[in-house]
Amino acid sequence: MEYVTYAVAFLVIVITVCRVYKIISYILYSRTPRAKINELGNRLWKDLYAEEVSRSKPDSLVASFIVEGKVMDKFKAALKKAYPSADFSDVEKTGGKYLAYLILCEPTIYGKEINQDARDAIIATSETHGGGVQPYCVSLVKTLYGKEEARKYALDIITGKLK
């Protein structure tokens, strides 16, 4: 019976330490510029999208795509107004491959070498995550905080660390 008590106590300690670690890492990570811009971009997109949907009330798939296009234009205009130095020309040139382009422009990221398998995975995943507003947020981070921070942000998006 004594060993069962020790085992339960050990499991409780391990679970508590894991939870504390997750909370601390979340707090530390949420202070990075890329997390702040990501949160700002997501809130702005949700607000603009909800406003446009309530105003136009799309009833078909085509109308939904039109609404999304209008919201994307408003989103870019709002970012440009808030940050006049923002330059989205790279995003618009490379399209959905912008995240992969940014990550793969140098052979290392986070101090680790990018091998061929990782390159292929980044390119494939970039095409699915490359649409929408996140590339514009990445471009904004590149303008405000530098290329390395933007590369980390792009990798965080592709790996699912930021959504």
Beta 108-109 vs 112-113: how paired, if at all?
antiparallel
pLDDT in tens, 67-87: 788 888 888 888 888 888 888
Burial of 1 (0-12, 13-18, 19+ CB in 10 A): exposed
The whole-model pTM stands at 0.73
Q: Give the Å distances, CA to CA, from 35 to 21, 61, 87.
A: 18, 32, 20
pLDDT in tens, 33-47: 888 888 888 888 888
Task: Give domain limits for the chain.
Answer: 1-31, 32-159
